[in-house]
Amino acid sequence: MSTIRTAETSSRLRCIVCGATPGSAGQDFRCTTCGDLLEFFFPGWTSNQDPPAFDPAALKSLWLNRRTSLDALDQSGVWRFRELLPHIPNPEEHVITLGEGNTPLYRLPRCARATGVKNLRAKHQGMNPTASFKDTGMTVAASSAHQGGFRWVACASTGNTSASMAAYAARGNMRSLVLIPDGKISWGKLSQSLDYGALTCQLRTDFDGCVRILNELVRQKPVYLLNSVNPYRIEGQKTAAIELMEQLAWEPPDHIIVPGGNLGNSSAIGKALLEMRELKLISRLPKLSIIQAHGANPFYRSVREFGGKKLEPMTADTLATAIRIGNPASWKKALRVLQATGGEVEEVTEVEIAAAKAEIGADGIGCEPASAVTLAGLKKLRRSGFVKPGEAVVLILTGHTLKDPDFTVKFHRGDLFTGTSGEIEGAPAKYLQRAPVVLDADLGAVIAALDAAERNSKC
Ligand code: F0G
């Protein structure tokens, strides 16, 4: 196993608000002085340091070479970048990997035409082992739990964190406790945590209610918290941005657009961008923009109405259940990277989300509803002039289309918005619907359907 350590690169914890630097974290991963969130920082990485912490060219070539290695850590698209992650002692014993990361970067030609942004791509984090971006953070945080000797790990979730946690816990011989809002997550995600052996509790509350119970629980029981307040999660999720830059030959795009729920992912991607610039791996920063669903938009309102000075929790409601979150834990971290990169925050409607999801699907890619807010947001950012036609844009697709097939089938059948205001608002999106055609088992009927489809595609 090869590593470059040309300088002091060990990581430390720091409170994002009061700056306290505790030697270790408590069970709730909050600062014992002021109660806010902790983050990792790397004291040896200051930009004016001589000699620099890393030789950027040597680091890039080391990471590239690992792509051909047979070592399990090198084959992981997370641990391949371990120089920029907190160190896990005895990785052979403690690292739990499912070969996460290494996700594709696709061009979206139809979406590019629809938005007028020629250089449009999607980094598909739904192509991870449990089909969402959560795996990149989970491999690091679950490994830290293993290294700490924990028997139980736990999370509150809208479905993807729980699926990922349950899988990594199972691989690491740990038990997992899942708290999910009853009836408000997709079956696909619920089925994953059952299959991976989690103790799955469906609580009669929403995601924010699950978080409140879990925060109390970790103070009373020796369970390891795996929500994204856990800074190890954020460190692992940084690697999506590092891998993206490698895929773009270290030439940053002008914009990166991410969905915003609990706001851990945007914080992680932004942190990676800032660190890569500090280490001279990239020479300029892309603008990182965050998109929320209108019915779950506390961060949008915080920035637009209160200049980011406070965040008012809300009761969230959206069909994009992954981001149905009213009190996002990492909003201060997300605000910092939004401001540092000069990004924008937007909100999109339910109909805009559904239409964008179908458009991404029509490019042969597909994603879950929460991921599609990125394309819907891009359309708004184009209309406001924040994104210009000649600029390069990357959407981060966070989950696989098979995570929530119910949503997709209802949209195409035309009953996703039945009985809601979306019924009228959604009329212009009808041309995107491809309802299944039910026919007799008759060759003539199939040929007639084929001919009709061909005629329609010409007009
Ligand atoms: N997209 C998907 C598919 C998600 O599952 C989530 C969050 C997000 C976007 C938002 O990311 O919270 O880091 O801002 N899902 C969490 C969960 C909350 O429990 O699975 P975020």
Atom 15 of ligand 1 has which residue's CA nearest to it? 322
- Give the distance from CA 290 to its chain's centroid: 11
Atom in ligand 1 nearest the alpha carbon of residue 189? 20
Give the pLDDT of residue 10: 87
End-to-end CA distance of the chain: give it in Å, rounded: 59
What spacing in Å lies between the alpha carbon of 421 and ligand 1's midpoint? 26
What spacing in Å lies between the alpha carbon of 197 and ligand 1's midpoint? 21
Give the pLDDT of residue 6: 42
What spacing in Å lies between the alpha carbon of 160 and ligand 1's midpoint? 7
371 lines ligand 1 (CB under 6 A): yes
Q: Kindly report the length of the chain.
A: 459
What spacing in Å lies between the alpha carbon of 228 and ligand 1's midpoint? 10
Atom 4 of ligand 1 has which residue's CA nearest to it? 322
Give the pLDDT of residue 9: 53
Give the pLDDT of residue 231: 98
What spacing in Å lies between the alpha carbon of 373 and ligand 1's midpoint? 12
What spacing in Å lies between the alpha carbon of 321 and ligand 1's midpoint? 9
Q: From first to last of the 459 residues of the chain, give the pLDDT tens digit.
A: 444 444 445 899 999 999 999 998 989 999 999 999 999 999 988 877 777 889 999 999 999 999 999 999 999 999 999 999 999 999 999 999 999 999 999 999 999 999 999 999 999 999 999 999 999 999 999 999 999 999 999 999 999 999 999 999 999 999 999 999 999 999 999 999 999 999 999 999 999 999 999 999 999 999 999 999 999 999 999 999 999 999 999 999 999 999 999 999 999 999 999 999 999 999 999 999 999 999 999 999 999 999 999 999 999 999 999 999 999 999 999 999 999 999 999 999 999 999 999 999 999 999 999 999 999 999 999 999 999 999 999 999 999 999 999 999 999 999 999 888 788 888 878 899 999 999 999 999 999 999 999 998 866
Mutate-to-test residue for ligand 1 from 103, 127, 160, highest number of ligand atoms within 8 A of CB: 160
What spacing in Å lies between the alpha carbon of 322 and ligand 1's midpoint? 5
Mutate-to-test residue for ligand 1 from 132, 258, 348, 404, highest number of ligand atoms within 8 A of CB: 132
Q: Which two tokens stand for residue 220?
A: 């009373």
Atom in ligand 1 nearest the alpha carbon of residue 237? 13
Q: What are phi and psi of 69, to 5 degrees?
A: -75, 155
Give the pLDDT of residue 429: 84
208 lines ligand 1 (CB under 6 A): no
Q: What are phi and psi of 390, to 5 degrees?
A: -85, 0
- Give the distance from CA 349 to its chain's centroid: 20
d(CA 7, CA 299) in angstroms, rounded, equals 38
259 lines ligand 1 (CB under 6 A): yes
Give the pLDDT of residue 419: 85
What letter does residue 409 receive in the DSSP assignment?
H
221 Cβ contact list (under 8 Å, min separation 6): 152
What spacing in Å lies between the alpha carbon of 326 and ligand 1's midpoint? 13
Give the pLDDT of residue 459: 60
Q: Which two tokens stand for residue 199?
A: 């103790």
398 lines ligand 1 (CB under 6 A): yes
Give the pLDDT of residue 449: 96
Give the pLDDT of residue 8: 42
376 lines ligand 1 (CB under 6 A): no
SS (H, E, C) the chain: CCCCCCCCCCCEEEECCCCCCCCCCCCCCECCCCCCEEEEECHHHCCCCCCCCCCHHHHHHHHHHHCCCCCHHHHCCCHHHHHHCCCCCCHHHHCCCCCCCCCCEEECHHHHHHHCCCEEEEEEHHHCCCCECHHHHHHHHHHHHHHCCCCEEEEECCCHHHHHHHHHHHHCCCEEEEEEECCCCCHHHHHHHHHCCCEEEEECCCHHHHHHHHHHHHHHCCEEECCCCCHHHHHHHCHHHHHHHHHCCCCCCCEEEEECCCCHHHHHHHHHHHHHHHCCCCCCCCEEEEEEEHHHCHHHHHHHHHCCCCCCCCCCCCCCHHHCCCCCCCHHHHHHHHHHHCCCEEEECHHHHHHHHHHHHHCCCCCCHHHHHHHHHHHHHHHCCCCCCCCEEEEEECECHHHCHHHHHHHHHCCCCCCCCHHHHCHHHHHHCCCCCCCCCCHHHHHHHHHHHHHHHHC
261 lines ligand 1 (CB under 6 A): yes
d(CA 342, CA 286) in angstroms, rounded, equals 8
Q: What are phi and psi of 168, to 5 degrees?
A: -70, -35
Atom in ligand 1 nearest the alpha carbon of residue 163? 20
368 lines ligand 1 (CB under 6 A): yes
- Cβ contact 112:357 at 8 Å: no
159 lines ligand 1 (CB under 6 A): yes
